[in-house]
Amino acid sequence: MKKLTRGDLFSLEKYSEIRNDFRLKIMSHKKNRHLAIGPNITLYFEDNLTMHYQIQEMLRAEKIFESSAIDEELAVYNAMIPDGNNWKATLMIEFTDEEERRVALKKMLGIENNLWLKIQGFSEIYPISDEDLERSDEDKTSAVHFLRFQLDHEMINGLKDGCELSAGINHPEYEYTVNPIAQNISESLISDLD
């Protein structure tokens, strides 16, 4: 999948003009890119378009217009764009009540390593988590993790040939399975693959 360059970005002025329409486009696109696993965990699968939006919003919020600062944002967010043989996702542990979230994050230590995707006929794919920096400590996990699910050619061919995709979490404090993943999400994810 193509990485973003400065040439792909809108100026702050242009983005201000098109922001509402661009946001509507992104919200529609994201409907096919998020997967709830149980009531409190969601995977948000990233791609070129979701990262384009993230960069534009960051440039807007921080009023970034200098080339070197834009290049820094591109480097950070381009790392989250899939490479054609993997999926990259943001894992969010979501509790509306702050105290409930605090307690859950202590109990869910290591959950990012107990999450899996499975292509029918293949073994589970466990993610490589938080490659940029550690987000957990010995007491609790973070509410946000960045994951990479690496696939081989046989897995990619299996998906393109119609194998179902499922997901789950096997953690003592949180066990859920989604089998199969909804077709609209599956199709969107398959479109990321070379």
pLDDT digits (tens, 9 = 90+) for 30-55: 999 999 999 999 999 999 999 999 99
Question: Token digits for 143?
Answer: 């509410």
Indicate the residue type of 66: E
Beta bridge partners of 146: 90
| Residue 19 · residue 27 · CB < 8 Å | no
pLDDT-based confidence at 132, cuts 50/70/90? low
Return the pLDDT at 138.
75
Q: Is the pLDDT of residue 88 over 80?
A: yes
Q: How far apart are CA 92 and CA 141, in angstroms?
A: 11
Closest CA to 34 of 84, 86, 92: 92
Return the pLDDT at 140.
87
Q: Is the pLDDT of residue 147 over 90?
A: yes
Q: Is the pLDDT of residue 136 over 70?
A: no
Rounded to two decimals, the pTM is: 0.91
pLDDT-based confidence at 135, cuts 50/70/90? low
Return the pLDDT at 33.
97
| Residue 154 · residue 163 · CB < 8 Å | no
Q: How far apart are CA 182 and CA 32, in angstroms?
A: 9
Q: Which CATH architecture group holds 33-46+84-194?
A: Sandwich (2.60)
Question: Token digits for 26?
Answer: 């992104």
| Residue 164 · residue 176 · CB < 8 Å | no
Return the pLDDT at 1.
82
Return the pLDDT at 137.
66
Percentage of the chain lying above the pLDDT 70 cut = 96
| Residue 126 · residue 115 · CB < 8 Å | yes
Return the pLDDT at 103.
95
Number of H helices, E strands in the chain: 6, 9
Domain borders along the chain are 1-31+48-81, 33-46+84-194
Q: How far apart are CA 94 and CA 143, in angstroms?
A: 7
Return the pLDDT at 139.
82
Cis peptide preceding 39, ω within 30 of 0:
no
Q: Is the pLDDT of residue 142 over 70?
A: yes
